[in-house]
């Protein structure tokens, strides 16, 4: 699960930058609104993935013996 979650967080974080740039660059109200919805969704996705990582890391030792 961790092998999948980490790249997903990276891609979704890049999506935040990408859609924010499109939102700022366009004059289209429809495209701005669509970008805003995608940005809201991505924040929720990233939060969910970070929570999954926290669960996976919860029982790991903090240092190597």
- Give the pLDDT confidence score for residue 64 in this predicted structure: 63
- 52 and 9 Cβ atoms separated by less than 8 Å: no
Distance from chain centroid for Cα 53: 13
How much is the average pLDDT of 52-58? 88
Q: For the chain, give the percent of residues with pLDDT over 70.
A: 95
Over residues 34-51, mean pLDDT: 96
Distance (Å, whole) CA 11 – CA 18: 10
pTM of the model: 0.77
Place of tokens 């740039």: 21
Residues 2 and 8: their CA atoms lie apart, in Å, by 10
């Amino acid at each position: 699960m961790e092998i999948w979650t980490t790249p997903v967080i990276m891609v979704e974080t890049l999506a935040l930058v990408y859609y924010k740039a499109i939102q700022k660059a366009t004059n289209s109200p429809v495209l701005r609104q669509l970008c805003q919805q995608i940005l809201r969704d991505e924040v929720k996705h990233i939060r969910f993935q970070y929570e999954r990582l926290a669960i996976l890391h919860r029982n790991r030792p903090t240092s190597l013996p």
